[in-house]
Amino acid sequence: MTVSRISFVLVMRGVVIAAVATLALVPIRNALAGGSFERIVGVGANGASASVKLAQSGPGSEASLQGPAVAVPRGGYVRLYPFIGGLPAIPGRYYPATRVICLYWHEPASNCARIGVDGARLLVPVAKLPLRHKQPTAPVAVRYRSRLLRYADGNIFAAIELALERPSISYSSPPVDAVSLSVSWRGSNVRQRPRRLFLTPRGVFASHRLFALSRGPWCYLAANLPGASASLIEATGRICR
């Protein structure tokens, strides 16, 4: 199906947003409850990143990221992670050379539009990052105690991917209230990605490294975790209120 504008699917669930793959795509201007993009994090080569804050309306808002539909460009790109609140929404790519933005949940890249002058101006900090050329490395399955978490396919996938794309700090043991997950990956850097990690209120912990992330992804995952312990349920109410 051809669409004339960048599209995404978001459904509000409690205080966070869950991706529902079975819903039809809708234009940005007709987004479901959950609100507009509040900021965009761009990640270039070698973990270099930049964040752009979006206005609620006008040339500095997500409206400037609309444009006529085009084919997926060739050349280098920057990986994009739009945020609504503390949770990443539909990720994608930005090709600065052709001013094309593509937002989509799963590879291969799709749903592309050529943005105008306002959109290009808004994304200048992202466009200055070193460009990527290989396929992104993203989760394709997340399990908790061997149980597949189907609801993780979307926002949680994007959150884990984003965390592990950026620099980390040394950390001796998983932070309190960490949730142990098994993750399967697909992409150009699969061998360097951990198959077991911990999602925590502070980020992703793996191999004695902590990759910073806002608490939103942990809150969403913990609130929907099957068989969650009483202590985890209590922590969710305390941390995520």
Rounded distance between C-alpha atoms, residue 132 and residue 80, angstroms: 11
Note the residue count of the chain.
Answer: 241
Rounded distance between C-alpha atoms, residue 170 and residue 145, angstroms: 26
Q: What is the structure's pLDDT at 18?
A: 37
Q: What is the structure's pLDDT at 88?
A: 95
Q: What is the pTM of this model?
A: 0.85
Contact 10, 21 (CB under 8 A): no
DSSP the chain: ---SS-EE--EEETTEEE--TTSPPEEGGGPPTT----EEEEE-GGG-EEEEE--SSSTTSGGGG---EEPPPPS-BEEEEEEETTEE-S-EEEETTTTEEEE-SSSSP--EEE--HHHHHHTHHHHTSPPB-SPP-EEEEEEETTEE-GGGTTHHHHHHHHHHHS--EE-SSPPTT-EEEEEEEESTTGGGS-SEEEEETTEEEETTEEEE--SHHHHHHHHT-TT--HHHHHHHHHH--
| Residue 187, CA distances (Å) to 26, 111, 136, 158 in order | 27, 19, 5, 14
Q: Which residues are CB-contacts of 175 (< 8 A; sequence separation ≥ 6)? A: 198, 200, 201, 202, 205, 210
Q: What is the structure's pLDDT at 142?
A: 98
Question: Which token pair is 130?
Answer: 């070193």
Question: Which token pair is 194?
Answer: 């951990």
Instruction: Tell me the CA end-to-end span of the chain in Å, nearest whole number.
Output: 40
Residue 153's identity, in one-letter code, is D
The list of the chain residues with pLDDT below 70 reads 1-35
130 by Cβ neighbours in 10 Å (0-12 / 13-18 / 19+) ranks as: exposed
pLDDT digits (tens, 9 = 90+) for 178-188: 999 999 999 99
